Amino acid sequence: MIDDIGNSVDVSGSGLITLTLKNTTKRKIGKIVGDTAFISRSLFTHVHRNSKSYGINELLTLFPISFIQLKDESGTYRIPVDIVKGSPARIFAQKGYEKQLFVPLDTIKKYKI
């Protein structure tokens, strides 16, 4: 899947999720197993400080999944994709980032498993 600024997210046969930023930088960002995408974040490097939220790639929500399971230093959370899709979007294209949906930490905490 490709967004309107040239970033893409691909899933391999084994479920590995790879993000390619404008056909140059490739990063492995998680894995899809069944109806769930598994991703990791760090409170120290991934939290958007102003909104106290984690950014999740919008393209990830377009795959046929029901949940995003996020793991960070404080726990593991199984977040319904509809919650992620309903979160505010931000694009930091000038800094080289893809469009992300920002899910507030307070919302994420409700889905701790």
Show me where the domains of the chain are located: 34-109
pLDDT in tens, 8-50: 777 788 777 677 766 677 777 788 899 999 988 887 777 777 8
Asked whether the beta carbons of 19 and 30 are under 8 A apart, the reply is: no
For residues 9 and 18, what is the distance between their CA atoms, to the nearest angstrom?
A: 6
From the CB of residue 9, how many other CB atoms can be counted at a distance below 10 Å?
Answer: 21
Q: What is the mean pLDDT of the chain?
A: 83
Instruction: Inform me whether the pLDDT recorded for 2 exceeds 80.
Output: no
What's the number of CA atoms in the CB half-sphere (13 Å) around residue 33? 5
Q: 58-89 burial by CB neighbour count: b if 16+ within 10 A, else e?
A: bbbbeeebebbbbebeeeebebebebbeebee
Q: What single-letter amino acid sits at 39?
A: I
For residues 3 and 21, what is the distance between their CA atoms, to the nearest angstrom?
A: 10
